[in-house]
Structure 1
Amino acid sequence: MSQTADEQPVIAPAKKHHPGLYVLFFTEMWERFGYYLMIGIFFLYLIDPSINGGKGFDNTKAADLVGSYIALVYLSPFIGGLLADRYLGYRRAIVIGGALLAAGYFGLAFPGDMAMYISLGLIIIGNGFFKPNIGTLLGNIYNRPDLKPKKDVAYNIFYMGVNIGAFICNFVAAYLRNHYGWGYAFAAAGVGMVVGLIIFMSRMKVVAEGDIKKTPSKEDMPIGTILSSVFLPAIIAAGIGYFVAPVLGHTLFGTRSNDAFMFACVPIVIFYIRLYTTAAKEDKRGLGALLAFFAVAIVFWVIYNQNSTGLTIWADQYTNRQMSPAMEKAAQPLGMLQTVTMEPHTVTQIDEHFRAITDASGKTVQVQGPDPYFQNLSKDQIPESGTLHLLSTEIFQSINPFFIVVFSMMMVGLFSWLAVRGKEPNTPTKIALGIFMAGFSSLLMVMAVAMTDVYVEKSAMSWLIATYAIFTIGEILVSPIGLSMVSKLSPPRVTALMMGGWYLVNSIAGKIAGLMATFWDSFIDKKTYFMILTIAAAVAGVVMLMIGKWIAKVVKEKTGSY
């Protein structure tokens, strides 16, 4: 019997998740293990004195390099995604990316600046091939009609893999760098990526159905056009920005790399504005709403990237990381304790090893020793042995993924409860609330600074823990929605370009976070640093509320729901 048009076959939902989910789960878990291990210790490695095996950079130089690295790591997925989409296929791109990432992490284990910069380049390129394509592969698998009802749950499971990797890596990093040195910690990131690659390559057939190479259509913008109208002008502008300082006699944004990046952003931003102004009438509303969302979201991601810049400085140099004897005994076998040592004679006298700061009465209020922790520590707090056992700074990087796991299900439950009662906020309102929460987390740091005389005492760990907890709520409200908004609002012909725009937002925010941290030592009152973030978030949150109804209306026009 033939079927009529109204009698479409009903496809029963699959009873189990696709086995490819678990292949991608463990691949991503180990890749994120390596990524977050590296970014968790990179700033610390750069500022660690050379006698300890670090680079001995000051805060300004370290923040400049970390900010540039974050910016480029988020920029490279734009090209990697396009190449996989149209030429390589997703599985091949993931293998290439994973191999480059592993090589980069292993390269960081070798001494010398040349090895470091080559390794960073490999990681940046590798991330461009890996990052955008593993999620796309999962999405393609779950676009199958019988699996679509399980797609959201699949992404939640996948996201748990990200956070498991991000949580455990810092404990491994602390153990290895405290017992064996920085090189072993970076090498562990490479081992993690190799494990992920082995899992993926041994089970590639399981995920083959998601490796759908896109057939180019006449509406697609050629990659050559994208390169010539976006990246080539950006490279030229970056070169101009880099050489502005010698001409003017000073930098515009603190360092020459900051100048280069900010100049490079100008032609890219102009390209997206032109994309909007030349779009067809039916596409303009979606593109306009998306670009407005991008502009507001930059503030959120600047605060997010303080995790690798400003908050790392605060955790390392301004937070009391000393532990009780009982906690020390428990933490020692796990390698969570970092030992910092001064020469015994410097405890009782100030000599050429120290910079002394005195108050108006001539009393010494600060001494600086060979480890950054001894900054902002009064002389009478230094033990006679000259040795302190501290909680390793990178352990604080595990607080955020821990709270994501704890809070995610609670937030899902809360919004389900509100939805049943017809009170669930729409997507733009959730984003605004998330930005406000990020601002509140910065306000907590303002309070932490206000209640700590940083020249004679350290701040309590509880301030950082509370800051991460508050921010995590904001992250759950904003982060998962970003790519969803892109897919909902982008015209089909420029979806890949707008995905690139979302990564550009993260890239600009990462560099701004690094730029801010290069001025850390210039902020005599550290409250000002965090107050800037608080005020920026308050303004961005209000703007999001003001344009929220308009964006929600556009989303409904495009998708039929808010």
Structure 2
Amino acid sequence: MSATPKVKHPKGLPFLFLSEMWERFGYYLMIGIFTLYLKDVKAGFAMTEAESADLYGTFIALVFLTPFLGGLIADRYLGYTKSIVIGGLMMGVGYCLMGVHSLTMLYLAMTLVIIGNGFFKPNISTLLGNIYSTPEYQDKKDDGYNIFYMGINVGAFICNFFGAAMYIMLGWEYAFLAAGIGMFIGVIVFLTGLKHYRAFDIKKGVQEGDMSFAKITMLILFPSLIAGVIGWIVPTKLLGHALVGSNSTDAFIFACLPVIYFYGSLYFKASKAEKRPLAALLTIFIVVILFWAVFKQNGTALTTWADRYTNREVSNPTAKQAFSSLSLSQNVVYQKDSVALYDEAFRLQKKDGVVQKEFNYPTYFKNVPAAQLPKEGEHVELWATNLSLSINPAWVIILTPLIVAFFTWLRRRDKEPSTASKIIFGVFISALSVLVMVGAVYAGGNGSEKVSVLWLMGSYGVITIGELFLSPMGLSLVSKLSPVRITSLMMGGWFLSTSIGNKLSGVLATMWDTYGDKSNFFWVNFALLLFSAVIGFILLKWLNGIMKEVGVK
């Protein structure tokens, strides 16, 4: 009796896996050093914590807003392969331009990354789904997406080691160049495997019931653009200051209002059969905003915690030699009462248009107890701050198989929670991760002493569980509950909620320096997530009821 042949995955999977791995390599390398570069006194832009967090929040908010448009344009006009290549090249050029020390060039580079990501991100995932659409591979689609998701996190894990080596040895511009090269490699890999998925690049075109691109432009894009300009100019003109933190925040809030109104109108104009599923989706979109607001502080507040409040000294001789040889650490000399304790003891600040020196900028040795300070002139090896951003993807790689196995075990016993339940539990688990950081603040005497990196590892470990409960489930829920005629628009709604949360993460991070007791900063984050989770649990019975009505779980 012959054994049944084992069905392999499509030949295009390895190419898409590696393309996405290199794309995420470039993106997360850039994100890992972005705020550190902005705050650098000597080679960056000497921005304050608030200024860098505000720009970071606006940037990643727009990065997650454009995939909605990029997906629609690819669906109807360009196709997936052209869109992916165009997006990849735009991002690669954008990363390289970030190394040019000019604010104008920085904004141009950010614009290229924002638009490029809109073309790349949604379409490579769609193309992956298409190559699994044949009966031969259909039952392996979930496994394929899990493998693909691992590619994202492999890229996100390894990139920070390259980024650290580049900016320590050669400077920021070479680190950004490495991100660009990574993106270009991703495009080359994608083109190499084109023969395996060219046949699956099928444009949907404009279908009956679809909203035309012209109508989307008139109802969403144009009003948002006008509202954003109004938000940037009017509050400052009338009040003499921004409504919420900065002009960019006001502009973003105003620009979102027409989009939010549009999504609300979809509900009110929907048929009776569509109203409840749409209400459930819009509710989930609102609930997860605060998750993204806290999760995306990995590039701001948590990077600041790693930089200033975490013990980064490499003391083990073997580890010291390894870090040093790989250029993953910085060798600094301790000089008592010197202006060069670590990097610079001051940062350049503008006050009334005049550049001044501020000598109270926190240095690495500032919160090291006197008894633990090195001797005068002693060399100290410190691991690079951006390496802390590899903790989250490392946890994803470790925990994904365990989470998948856990839900498989529950499914076999007919006890697997609904998709909506997983999302709400994800928000709650994420709230618990913030308590770990509260503990870190208490352990360090509110920043008077540095704490072990294990606190960051613990916090990232818990929030990664929340992420795995929530993030992959979101798009699944959209596909299950959306009316077919507006699935693309509702996918855009998920990205909109992510975008708003990303911007809010920047707004929250701008307040870091205003908290004398840093535990209060984390308590606020905990309260926001707990509030969101409680609202979700209150509505969960209603949400599950709607899912049962439409025959999904």
Q: TM-score normalized by structure 2? A: 0.92
My pick for the range that moved more, 142-151 or 546-555, is 546-555
Specify the alignment match of 1:553 in structure 2.
Answer: 545
Distance of 1:56 and 1:495 partners within structure 2: 44
Q: What's the secondary structure of 1:174's corresponding residue?
A: helix
Give yes or no for the alignment of 1:245 onto 2:244: no
Q: 255, 276, 281: which is aligned to 1:285?
A: 276
Distance of 1:546 and 1:403 partners within structure 2: 30
Q: What's the secondary structure of 2:12's corresponding residue?
A: helix
Return the offset for 1:340: 4.5
The 3 A distance-change label for structure 1 pair 132 and 354 is closer
Give yes or no for the alignment of 1:233 onto 2:223: yes
Specify the alignment match of 1:396 in structure 2.
Answer: 388
Specify the alignment match of 2:121 in structure 1.
Answer: 131
Q: What's the secondary structure of 2:381's corresponding residue?
A: strand
Distance of 1:372 and 1:127 partners within structure 2: 36
The 3 A distance-change label for structure 1 pair 74 and 348 is closer
Deviations 1:62-111 (A, max 9, x none): 00110010011001111111100100000000000011011001111222
The residue type paired with residue 324 of structure 2 is Q
Give yes or no for the alignment of 1:491 onto 2:491: no
Q: What's the secondary structure of 1:124's corresponding residue?
A: helix
Q: What's the secondary structure of 1:389's corresponding residue?
A: strand
Distance of 2:465 and 2:455 partners within structure 1: 16
Q: 210, 218, 221: which is aligned to 2:211?
A: 221
Return the offset for 1:557: 3.0
Return the offset for 1:553: 2.6
Alignment of 1:362-441 (within 5 A): 372-374=363-365, 376-377=367-368, 381=373, 383-385=375-377, 388-441=380-433
Q: 243, 255, 270: which is aligned to 2:261?
A: 270
Alignment of 1:195-206 (within 5 A): 195-206=185-196
Which runs of 5 or more structure 1 residues have no equivalent in the other structure? Answer: 1-11, 356-366
The residue type paired with residue 168 of structure 2 is N
Distance of 1:226 and 1:268 partners within structure 2: 10
Specify the alignment match of 2:12 in structure 1.
Answer: 20
Q: Is the 8 A contact 1:49 1:371 kept in 2?
A: no
Q: 70, 74, 78: which is aligned to 2:64?
A: 74
Deviations 1:358-388 (A, max 9, x none): xxxxxxxxx9677753554567736522754
Distance of 1:347 and 1:58 partners within structure 2: 19
The 3 A distance-change label for structure 1 pair 329 and 536 is same
Q: What's the secondary structure of 2:143's corresponding residue?
A: helix
Q: Is the 8 A contact 1:301 1:510 kept in 2?
A: yes
Deviations 1:139-196 (A, max 9, x none): 1111112211110011111111111101100011111111111111110011111111
The number of aligned residues is 535
Specify the alignment match of 2:170 in structure 1.
Answer: 180
Which runs of 5 or more structure 2 residues have no equivalent in the other structure? Answer: 348-357
Specify the alignment match of 2:444 in structure 1.
Answer: 452
Give yes or no for the alignment of 1:294 onto 2:300: no
Specify the alignment match of 1:442 in structure 2.
Answer: 434
Specify the alignment match of 2:534 in structure 1.
Answer: 542
Let me know the Cα RMSD of the aligned residues. 2.2
The 3 A distance-change label for structure 1 pair 90 and 354 is closer
Deviations 1:370-409 (A, max 9, x none): 7753554567736522754211111111111111111111
Return the offset for 1:485: 0.7
Distance of 1:108 and 1:147 partners within structure 2: 41
Distance of 1:353 and 1:443 partners within structure 2: 32
Q: Is the 8 A contact 1:49 1:370 kept in 2?
A: no
Distance of 2:167 and 2:333 partners within structure 1: 16
Specify the alignment match of 1:4 in structure 2.
Answer: none
The residue type paired with residue 452 of structure 1 is G
Q: Is the 8 A contact 2:441 2:447 kept in 1?
A: no
Specify the alignment match of 1:503 in structure 2.
Answer: 495
Q: TM-score normalized by structure 1? A: 0.91
Give yes or no for the alignment of 1:58 onto 2:45: no
Q: What's the secondary structure of 1:75's corresponding residue?
A: coil
Q: Is the 8 A contact 2:339 2:345 kept in 1?
A: no
Distance of 2:391 and 2:340 partners within structure 1: 37
Specify the alignment match of 2:352 in structure 1.
Answer: none
Distance of 2:47 and 2:333 partners within structure 1: 19
Q: 132, 141, 146: which is aligned to 1:151?
A: 141
Q: Is the 8 A contact 1:13 1:147 kept in 2?
A: no
Q: Is the 8 A contact 2:308 2:362 kept in 1?
A: no
Q: 159, 170, 181: which is aligned to 2:160?
A: 170
Distance of 1:139 and 1:103 partners within structure 2: 28
Specify the alignment match of 2:520 in structure 1.
Answer: 528
Distance of 2:309 and 2:495 partners within structure 1: 32
Q: What's the secondary structure of 2:451's corresponding residue?
A: coil
Return the offset for 1:250: 2.1
Q: Is the 8 A contact 2:334 2:376 kept in 1?
A: no
The 3 A distance-change label for structure 1 pair 187 and 383 is farther
Distance of 1:348 and 1:210 partners within structure 2: 58
Distance of 1:276 and 1:199 partners within structure 2: 42
Specify the alignment match of 1:360 in structure 2.
Answer: none
The residue type paired with residue 439 of structure 2 is M
The residue type paired with residue 264 of structure 1 is A
